[in-house]
């Protein structure tokens, strides 16, 4: 059982690292993705510092993916409730993206938004025909 616990904990650490690096590299990452990275990172740190059983990492991984999906829906349908999470994600992204020029981040976000709008428009046009 201890082997499974260590495998789960190292998987949690890997997810935390990969998602955090993703936030730094993919400058147009959405708020739910940034919150997911923060969730995995906080979970890995909490288990490491508290000395809790590493087997808990398995449910933290599952909860992290569920949390990311939940934040997508909360952001879409309950924007007032989503505002504190957006602020938290913004602060985390600023820390992770230290050293990247703000104009480069803004340009990547605008390009990502343009691509999303174009994709939505092409799907809408396809339905009308």
Instruction: Kindly list the domain boundaries of the chain, sorted by start residue.
Output: 2-98, 101-129
Q: From CA 21, how far away is CA 97, in angstroms rounded?
A: 9
pTM metric for this prediction: 0.85
Q: From CA 46, how far away is CA 83, in angstroms rounded?
A: 25
pLDDT tens digits, 98-123 = 998 989 988 988 998 898 888 888 88
For residue 126, the model assigns a pLDDT of 72
User: Is 58's pLDDT higher than 80?
Assistant: yes
pLDDT tens digits, 34-49 = 999 999 999 999 999 9
């Amino acid at each position: 059982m201890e082997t499974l616990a260590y495998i789960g904990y190292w998987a949690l650490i890997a997810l935390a690292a990969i998602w955090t690096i993703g936030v730094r590299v993919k400058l147009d990452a959405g708020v739910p993705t940034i919150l997911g990275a923060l969730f995995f990172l906080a979970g890995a740190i909490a288990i490491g510092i508290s000395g809790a059983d590493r087997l808990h990492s398995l449910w933290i991984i599952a909860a992290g993916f569920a949390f990311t999906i939940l934040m997508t829906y909360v952001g879409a349908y309950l924007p007032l409730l989503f505002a504190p999470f957006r602020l938290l994600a913004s602060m985390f992204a600023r820390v992770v993206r230290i050293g990247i020029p703000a104009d480069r981040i803004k340009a990547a976000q605008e390009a990502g938004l343009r691509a999303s709008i174009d994709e939505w428009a092409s799907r809408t046009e396809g339905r009308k025909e």
